[in-house]
């Protein structure tokens, strides 16, 4: 059934959307895994990456009401929170406000090299607040890489500030933004998106924001939220739109498939199957031939499936994270953090070489 | 790799080579082919049952266990009959066909406690009693000065239908000496199973791996099961599962994986080699697939969603498993290690279905009862 596709993949040729669907529909996950591993091996050898990072969510107050989201709150609603810039600095510093004189050489007191910041679309914070947030972090922790704000937030900043996308992104970059995460992509298909998150920017706009970011020299990731109400064709369509933009800009670093979590959301439904998670990693790896990295985000897949995904085309399992709120609001079943030692163990037991990376996939340390 | 063999059965040495060197996807593919031959139509079975742990008092105090208590401990318990009857009532109401009745080795109980319990259950309920793992049976035999065969015969006439395969852990006395020095040795475990099979009772077999055993120990375990099955044919299923280090003495040995346990009052023991990490997903699937390949005379291999979670159990259906085990209306032993996947029968059915398989409720003997 997979013959024809197999030959194409082994020859390094690009597969079509129709072929990606056929890969998705196969029960032969072993051939699928082997083909994905072949592609991953050509791009990254036996390496599997992790990063010492920390997540920060400045607020869960959001003007959008996406039906798959269990994290967002309205202003004044129970459970709503907003962190001040000082509180953010303290979280990063682990109780200290600066890296301290003796620690100038490290990025932050607790030895993580990247902070990942995403939050709700706050109805009152002005764009300057975000610029101040970034520059304050940069001032306190000059070596810390700031990966922040999804395309959805960037679009919102541009609206509330009256600036063009280009100006918005340039201002953030000037204040210290290092790169952008890939969230808010969900599923591009208009029909699904209208049911799932009618207030959120359409798929075309998400692509437009990412293109603008890439043009001003900001590298980003890309995601896909799967396992809710979309079908396999919607997923392949999503991957295809990402592949087309990457052909133009080459600005994406990693693709991150995100498994839907049903708890406390409006559409409920069920968790994705472990087999679906592995297939999605593999099909993404094979189809997205112009992406260097596929990330098996352990918070969403669980440690076990993330580890297996390293045998189904993924080459990255994200990082230490330390504090996670979004997936856990929707019934995430993992802990909120893993130590570097635990991440290395998962990678090595999968037969891969564990590599601690920086935010641009440069090797910080190889574990033997 | 190619397997050189005359009778299509892989040898211990070949199994060891496979276990150490074979690529996981290749091993999985092979296990999946064997599984499909034995269980065509992509059916995945499960049994609706309830674990009834009649007591947590146990004199064995195994280092990998978080469930046991001393008799004097504040949270030690022994369930009374009414509680047990109520639990069975609820089980039947939920469509259950079996109770799994297991407990610690309680020093105050003798064979009459068990025969009385069994016959009073059987008087009241039409339900399969799957109960008493080999360590419990040996303890009853010793306490009442009976042979193993006599003990099982007495339990059988009182109403015991089948015997669970727990307490096998790893059938290597070197490992048992460290993990569970007071628990019955390998030969006794096998002796109980053989005696039960000879009396016409069916049993399961288990293996707990991921503690301090070697690859050789795992293969030796599988081989002991396969040899006994060649003789008796009495095993219905094999269930491998991995050591869960939370709250256990073993998990606490400076691995950072366990939580300290202050209630341990035992004599100093020789230093225990430390399992630095619990078995990962890759190791679980490797053992599972190898079990399917090696145990060519056992029809069913269970996925352990209780220890691995539903997503892994789904993946396990492609790596040799054909059964989801029990719906576990109640589970106390693994839950005491802090591992708890809250799962209902509907979750099990939809998990099987979304993995691409047909969920079917079965009875203890793997007869198909109800399609969903």
Residue B265 exposed, middle or buried by CB count within 10 Å (0-12, 13-18, 19+): exposed
Decide: A317 and A306 in contact? Cβ < 8 Å.
yes
Show residues of chain A in contact with B29, CB under 8 Å. Answer: 30
Average pLDDT rounded to a whole number, residues B335-347: 67
Cβ of A307 within 8 Å of Cβ of B310? The answer is no
* A273/B314 CB distance under 8 A: yes
Give Cα separations from A28 to A21, A174, B2 (angstroms): 14, 49, 21
pLDDT tier for residue B340 given thresholds of 50, 70 and 90 = low
B261 vs A359, residue with greater confidence: A359
3-state secondary structure at position A131: helix
- Residue B365: pLDDT over 80: yes
Per the structure, the complete domain to which residue A347 belongs is given by: 5-46+147-367
Question: pLDDT at position B252, please?
Answer: 58
Question: What integer is the mean pLDDT of A300-320?
Answer: 96
Option in B284, B309, B351 nearest A302 (CB): B309
Please judge whether A29 and B318 are an interchain contact, meaning their C-beta atoms are less than 8 angstroms apart.
yes
Judge whether residue A103 has pLDDT over 80: no
Portion of chain A with pLDDT greater than 70, in percent: 95
Please tell me the pTM assigned to this model.
0.91
HEC letters along B224-288? HHHHHHHHHCCEEEEEEEECCCCCCHHHHCCCCCCCCCCCCCCCCCCCCCCCCCCCCHHHHHHHH
Torsional sign, CA B320, B328, B360, B364: positive
Rounded-to-integer distance, Cα B281 and Cα B263, Å: 31
For position B114, what pLDDT does the model report? Answer: 96
Per-residue pLDDT, B230: 97
- When pLDDT is cut at 50, 70 and 90, the band that residue A338 belongs to is confident
Number of domains in chain A: 1
Out of 3.40.50.300, 3.20.20.70, 3.40.50.620, 3.30.420.40, the CATH code matching B12-371 is 3.20.20.70
This complex has an ipTM of: 0.91
Alpha-carbon Rg for chain A in angstroms: 20
The per-residue pLDDT for range A261-272, each reduced to its tens digit, is 988 888 888 899
- A interface mutation test: which of B311, B316, B348, B357 has the most A CBs within 10 A? B311
With an 8 Å Cβ cutoff, are A273 and B311 in contact? yes
Query: Which residues from chain B sit within 8 angstroms of residue A29, using beta carbons?
Result: 28, 318
Q: Are B285 and A33 within 8 A, CB to CB?
A: no
Which pLDDT band holds residue A105 (cuts at 50, 70, 90)? very low
Measured between alpha carbons, how far is residue A219 from residues A28, A52, A209, A211, A225 in Å? Answer: 35, 19, 12, 10, 20
Which of B279, B284, B355 shows the shortest CA–CA distance to B315? B355
pLDDT value at residue B182:
85
Please say if the pLDDT value at position B273 is more than 50.
no
Candidate from B25, B341, B351 with C-beta closest to A273 = B351
Distance to chain B for A323, nearest Cα, Å: 19
pLDDT, greater one: A365 or B269: A365
Whether A265 is in a domain gets the answer yes
Plot region of A40 (φ>0 → left; ψ -120 to 50 → alpha; else → beta): alpha
Separation in Å, CA A321 to CA A107, A112, A347, B188: 15, 9, 16, 48
Q: What is the CATH number of the domain that holds A272?
A: 3.20.20.70
pLDDT at A97 over 80: no
A131 lies in some domain: no
| Overall average pLDDT of the A286-297 stretch | 98
CB A293 within 8 A of CB A318: no
Q: Which of B322, B242, B241 is nearest to B31 (CA)?
A: B322
- Is any Cβ of chain B less than 8 angstroms from the Cβ of A316? no
Single out the residue of A141, A116, A144 nearest to residue A58, CA to CA: A116
At residue B268, the pLDDT reads 37
Q: Give CA–CA dist A323/A338, Å, rounded.
A: 10
* Closest C-alpha to B35, from B352, B366, B310, B290: B290
Distances from the Cα of B29 to the Cαs of A27, A188, A281, B14, B334, in angstroms? 11, 35, 18, 17, 30
Query: What is the percent of chain A with per-residue pLDDT over 90, rounded to a whole number?
Result: 84
Report pLDDT for B339: 59
Of the candidates A113, A85, A49, A59, the one whose C-alpha atom is nearest the C-alpha of residue A367 is A49
What does the pLDDT read at residue B266? 39
Determine what percent of chain B falls in helix, strand and coil, rounding each to the nearest 5: 40, 15, 45
The answer to whether the Cβ–Cβ distance between B312 and A274 falls below 8 Å is: yes
Which helix (H) or strand (E) covers residue B87, if one does?
A: helix B81-93
Mean pLDDT of B227-233: 97
Contacts of B312 in chain A (CB under 8 A): 274, 304-305
Selection from A112, A115, A122 nearest residue A76 by Cα: A122
How far is A269 from chain B, CA to nearest CA, in Å? 11
Whether residue B275 has pLDDT greater than 80? no
pLDDT computed for residue A158 by the predictor: 98
Q: Chain A contacts of B313, Cβ < 8 Å?
A: 274
Q: What is the pLDDT of residue A111?
A: 78
Mean pLDDT over B96-119 rounds to 95
Flag whether A362 is in a domain: yes
């Amino acid at each position: 059934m997979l013959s024809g596709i197999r030959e194409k993949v082994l020859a390094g040729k690009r597969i079509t959307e129709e072929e990606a669907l056929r890969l998705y529909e196969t029960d032969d996950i072993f051939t699928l895994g082997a083909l994905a591993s072949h592609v991953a091996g050509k791009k990254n050898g036996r390496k599997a990456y992790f990063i010492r990072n920390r997540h920060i969510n400045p607020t869960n107050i959001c003007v959008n009401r996406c039906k798959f989201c269990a994290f967002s709150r309205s202003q004044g609603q129970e459970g709503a929170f907003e962190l001040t810039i000082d509180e953010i600095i303290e979280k990063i510093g682990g109780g200290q406000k600066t890296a301290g004189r003796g620690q100038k050489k490290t990025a932050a007191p607790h030895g993580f090299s990247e902070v990942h910041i995403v939050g709700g679309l706050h109805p009152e914070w002005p764009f300057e607040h975000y610029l101040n947030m970034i520059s304050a972090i940069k001032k306190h922790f000059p070596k810390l890489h700031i990966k922040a704000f999804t395309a959805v937030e960037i679009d919102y900043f541009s609206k509330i500030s009256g600036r063009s996308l280009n100006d918005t992104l340039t201002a953030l970059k000037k204040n210290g933004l290092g790169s952008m995460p890939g969230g808010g992509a969900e599923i591009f298909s208009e029909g699904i998106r209208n049911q799932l998150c009618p207030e959120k920017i359409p798929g075309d706009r998400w692509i437009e924001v990412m293109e603008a970011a890439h043009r001003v020299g900001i590298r980003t990731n890309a995601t896909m939220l799967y396992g809710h109400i979309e079908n396999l064709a919607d997923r392949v369509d999503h991957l295809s739109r990402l592949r087309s933009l990457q052909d133009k800009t080459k600005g994406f670093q990693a693709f991150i498939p995100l498994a839907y979590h049903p708890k406390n959301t409006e559409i409920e439904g069920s968790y994705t199957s472990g087999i679906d998670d592995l297939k999605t990693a593999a099909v993404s790896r094979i189809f997205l031939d112009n992406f260097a990295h596929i990330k098996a985000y352990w918070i969403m897949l669980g440690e076990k499936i993330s580890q297996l995904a390293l045998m189904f085309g993924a080459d990255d399992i994200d990082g230490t994270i330390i504090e996670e709120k979004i997936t856990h609001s929707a019934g995430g079943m993992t802990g909120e953090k893993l130590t570097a030692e635990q991440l290395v163990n998962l990678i090595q037991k999968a037969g891969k070489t564990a590599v601690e990376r920086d935010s641009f996939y440069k090797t910080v340390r190889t574990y033997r | 790799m190619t397997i050189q063999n005359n009778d299509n059965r892989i040898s211990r040495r070949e199994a060891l080579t496979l276990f150490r060197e074979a690529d996981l996807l290749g091993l999985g593919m092979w296990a999946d082919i064997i599984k499909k031959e034995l269980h065509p139509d992509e059916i995945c079975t499960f049994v609706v049952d309830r674990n009834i742990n009649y007591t947590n008092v146990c004199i064995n105090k195994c280092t990998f266990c978080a469930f046991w208590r001393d008799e004097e401990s504040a949270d030690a318990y022994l369930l009374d009959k009414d509680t047990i009857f109520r639990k069975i009532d609820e089980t039947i109401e939920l469509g259950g066909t079996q109770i799994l009745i297991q407990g610690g080795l309680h020093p105050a109980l003798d064979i009459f406690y068990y025969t009385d319990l069994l016959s009073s259950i059987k008087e009241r309920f039409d339900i399969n009693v799957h109960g008493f793992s080999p360590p419990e049976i040996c303890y009853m035999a010793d306490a009442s000065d009976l042979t193993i065969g006599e003990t099982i015969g007495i339990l059988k006439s009182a109403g015991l239908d089948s015997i669970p395969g727990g307490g096998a852990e790893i059938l290597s006395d070197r490992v048992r000496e460290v993990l569970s020095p007071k628990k019955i040795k390998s030969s006794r475990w096998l002796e109980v199973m053989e005696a039960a099979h000879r009396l016409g009772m069916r049993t399961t077999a288990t293996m707990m791996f991921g503690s301090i055993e070697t690859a050789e120990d795992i293969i030796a375990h599988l081989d002991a099961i396969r040899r006994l099955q060649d003789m008796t044919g009495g095993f219905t299923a094999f269930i491998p599962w991995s050591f869960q280090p939370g709250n256990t003495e073993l998990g606490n040995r400076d691995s950072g994986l366990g939580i300290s346990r202050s209630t341990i009052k035992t004599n100093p023991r020789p230093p225990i080699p430390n399992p630095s990490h619990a078995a990962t997903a890759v190791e679980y699937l490797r053992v599972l697939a190898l079990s399917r390949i090696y145990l060519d005379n056992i029809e069913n291999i269970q996925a352990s969603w209780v220890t691995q979670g539903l997503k892994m159990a789904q993946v396990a259906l492609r790596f040799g498993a054909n059964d989801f085990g029990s719906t576990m209306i109640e589970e106390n032993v693994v839950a005491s290690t802090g591992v708890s996947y809250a799962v209902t029968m509907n979750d099990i059915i939809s998990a099987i279905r979304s993995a691409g398989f047909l969920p079917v409720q079965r009875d203890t003997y793997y007869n198909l009862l109800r399609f969903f």
